[in-house]
Copies of this chain bind each other. A is one copy, B any other.
Amino acid sequence: MHRELTIDGMFEKLIAGDRVALSKAITLVESSKEEHQAKATQLLTKCAERDSKSRRIGITGVPGVGKSTFIEALGLQLIANGRKVAVLAVDPSSDLTKGSILGDKTRMEQLSADANAFIRPSPSGGALGGVARSTRETVVLCEAAGYDHILIETVGVGQSETVVHSLVDMFVLLVLANAGDELQGIKRGIMEMADMVVINKDDGANAAYTKMAVAGYAQALHMFPAKESGWTVPVLTCSSTELRGFDEILATAEQYFALMESTGRLQLERAEQSRFWLYRAIDEELRTRFLHDPNVQHQLEVLEDKVALGKIGPFEAARELLRNWNQIN
C-alpha cells in the first residue's frame, strides 16, 4: 500500500517545501522500527548539512491559560510578516488522552489552513526520551523544509517543560492576570526557565488586574539570578482573541535573538543542548539495557524494597546489582 520513496527523493521533495514529504519524513523519524531508524538517520544527516537560520521558541503555561489561541495568533502574525511557521507539541501523555492531539488542529483552525503553517501533533511513544528525540528530529526536518519559526508547545505534564526548554532558543511562559495568588499554579522551576513572560487574556474582566500582575511578575523575576546572556526577562501583555500585543511581543523577541546571535550565545546554547541530549540518550539506553536484563530485574525488585525500608544502603545495592550484571556480560 505504502509507496516506497528513496531517501534522496524524499529529501529533494522536503527541501522543496512539499508538505506531504515532510509529514512522511516525520512519520519515519517517529517510527521505532530498525529499518526506519536507519533511513531516518540518512535523511537527518542530509538535512543537518544544510545551514538553517531558524528560531526555535518554546511556549508553556498552565491549562486554561490559552496556549493554542496564543500560538495561533502569534503564528498568523509571523506569517503576515513573511515567515513560515511550524507548530509542534510535546505531550508525553498523548498515548493516554489522545484528546490534545486532535484538539490542537481543530482549535488552531485558521493557522492550520494557512499554506505557510505546518502543524504536527505530539508524537506518541512512551518515554519522554522518545518524545524528545522525535520532536528534536522533527525540528530539523521542518527547518530543512523552510520553516524559519518553530513553535513548540508543552502541555505541562511531567517533565515536558524541561524537555522543551532543552529543545528551544527562547522559552515563553504564558500566564493569566488573576487577582491574588497568580503564581501558585506554576510548577517549580518553570519561572526560572522563562526568557519572556506574557500575560495572556488582557481583555474583559481580566484587564483590570493586568497592571498589578505585570508588577508582580516583574518583581518575582527580579528575585532570580540574572541570565548569563545578560538578557532581562520582560513581562508583556496580550489579548489573543482581540489580537493586541503581538507587535510588541515580536519586537521583543527580535531584540532577544539579536542579543543571543551577536554574543554567540545562540550557537553556544544549541551546542550545549546537543551535548546534553547526546549524554542523556546514552544514559537512557544504558539504563534500559541494564533494567531489561532478567537477572537484574528480579534482583532489583527485592533490593529496591530493602533500600526503601533502609535495610540496605542504596550504594551497596547498586554495587551488588552491577556486580551480578558484570558476571553475565
Q: How many copies of this chain sit in the oligomeric assembly? A: 2
A310 adjacent to B270 (CB under 8 Å): yes
- Within the complex, the shortest CB–CB distance from A253 to chain B, in Å, comes to 22
Contact residues of A between 290 and 315, Cβ < 8 Å to B? 290, 303-304, 307-315
In the complex, whether A271 has a CB less than 8 A from a CB of chain B is yes
In the complex, whether A81 has a CB less than 8 A from a CB of chain B is no
Interface class of chain A by DSSP: helix
A191 adjacent to B315 (CB under 8 Å): no
- How many angstroms from the CA of A140 to the CA of B315 in the assembled complex? 12
- Contact among B41, B192, B226, B309 for A184, CB-based, below 8 A: B226
A225 adjacent to B310 (CB under 8 Å): no
In the complex, whether A223 has a CB less than 8 A from a CB of chain B is yes
Contacts A44-B313, A48-B312, A316-B45 given; indicate if A278 touches B304 (C-beta within 8 A): yes
B313 adjacent to A48 (CB under 8 Å): yes
- Within the complex, the shortest CB–CB distance from A144 to chain B, in Å, comes to 12
- How many angstroms from the CA of A133 to the CA of B303 in the assembled complex? 17
In the complex, whether A49 has a CB less than 8 A from a CB of chain B is yes
In the complex, whether A4 has a CB less than 8 A from a CB of chain B is no
Residues of B within 8 A of A225 (CB): 183-188
- Within the complex, the shortest CB–CB distance from A158 to chain B, in Å, comes to 16
Q: Select from chain B the residue with minimum beta-carbon distance to A220.
A: B223
- Contact among B44, B181, B279 for A316, CB-based, below 8 A: B44
- How many angstroms from the CA of A225 to the CA of B188 in the assembled complex? 6
Q: Which of A83-91, A243-251, A318-326 contacts B (4 or more CB under 8 A)?
A: A318-326
- Contact among B220, B311, B318 for A49, CB-based, below 8 A: B311
- How many angstroms from the CA of A164 to the CA of B283 in the assembled complex? 23
Residues of B within 8 A of A183 (CB): 222-225
Contacts A286-B290, A287-B283 given; indicate if A137 touches B315 (C-beta within 8 A): yes
Contact residues of A between 268 and 286, Cβ < 8 Å to B? 270-271, 274-279, 281-283, 285-286
Q: Which residues of A contact B (CB under 8 A)?
A: 37, 41, 44-45, 48-49, 133, 136-137, 140, 181, 183-189, 191-192, 219-220, 222-226, 270-271, 274-279, 281-283, 285-287, 290, 303-304, 307-319, 321-322, 329
